[in-house]
Amino acid sequence: MSDKDLAELPDGPEDDKEQTLVAHLVELRSRLVRMAIAILLVFACLSPFMKQIFDYLSKPLMVALPQGAKLLATGVIAPFMVPLKVTLFVAFVIALPYVLWQLWGFVAPGLYRKEKKLAAPIIISSLVMFFLGMAYCYFIVFRMVFQFIAGFSPNSVNFAPDIDSYFSFVLALFLAFGVTFEVPIVVVVLNRMGITSIDKLKKARPYMVVGAFVIAAIFTPPDVLSQMLLALPLVILYQVGIWLCAIFGKPKSEEDNEETA
């Protein structure tokens, strides 16, 4: 067989796999670029309002501070960089539905029809619950925590946090409470996948209560109030997840069949 004949032979399976992998990587790169462009476009629209956005984010703390007190900027470029980071974070949150839509467009072709029907409600409900967690954190947790901390500040201490540390603190709490509000979704998904049953979830409830306070101690400041404000919703949302399993989870008959199999 001549070299010309060899060149005309079709590519083997390994070549097909390599081409498929390259095509997936090219598509992933394209979607990542679209995500970045979307975030940057939102950021560009918000950038003229950086001061107002930061002032709104710092409002719960400013209410708790003494009359006339302000946040401190210890870094030379902190008055510029921190509002910029805050605006970029807000731009990401606003663009998050589009980001998830792009990720869904990349993953969806590899899913079965049944998985697609389950995935779409999960993505939408997860997004809603994450935003609810952030709203709960901003409107309830921040106000109570900052007033609690300011109330324990001695008269000889000028309670005026640094804006950089304040942003890090706020971002950590936003993520902690956003993820916490995903608990019902996680519980329902685990039940639908057959990993756990309602009976097992009920039996694990005491361990979940202990785990909730351990998680709160790790991801919140060392004051009791902020830990309680994270642990209690975690426990309540776990119970809500059990109730949702009874409605949207795997039927009891299927659970019994799997356990006897």
pLDDT digits (tens, 9 = 90+) for 54-106: 999 999 988 888 777 788 888 889 999 999 999 999 999 999 999 999 988 88
More reliable by pLDDT, 15 or 115: 115
For residue 232, give the nearest of 246, 255, 215, 250 by alpha carbon: 215
- Whether this prediction's pTM lies above 0.85 is answered by no
Contact 249, 241 (CB under 8 A): no
Is 5 domain-assigned? no
Task: Give the integer Cα–Cα distance in Å for 86 and 83.
Answer: 5
Is 10 domain-assigned? no
Is 111 domain-assigned? yes
More reliable by pLDDT, 27 or 17: 27
DSSP 8-state class, residue 68 = T
| Alpha helices in 137-204, H assignment, sequence order | 142-151, 163-180, 183-192, 198-203
Is residue 12 over pLDDT 80? no
Is 1 domain-assigned? no
More reliable by pLDDT, 95 or 148: 95
State the number of CA atoms in the 13 A half-sphere of 12 facing the CB. Answer: 2
pLDDT digits (tens, 9 = 90+) for 154-206: 777 777 788 998 999 899 899 989 999 999 999 998 888 888 889 999 999 99
Is 40 domain-assigned? yes
For residue 138, give the nearest of 166, 162, 173, 165 by alpha carbon: 173
> Which domain range does residue 197 map to?
20-252
Number of domains making up the chain:
1
Is 77 domain-assigned? yes
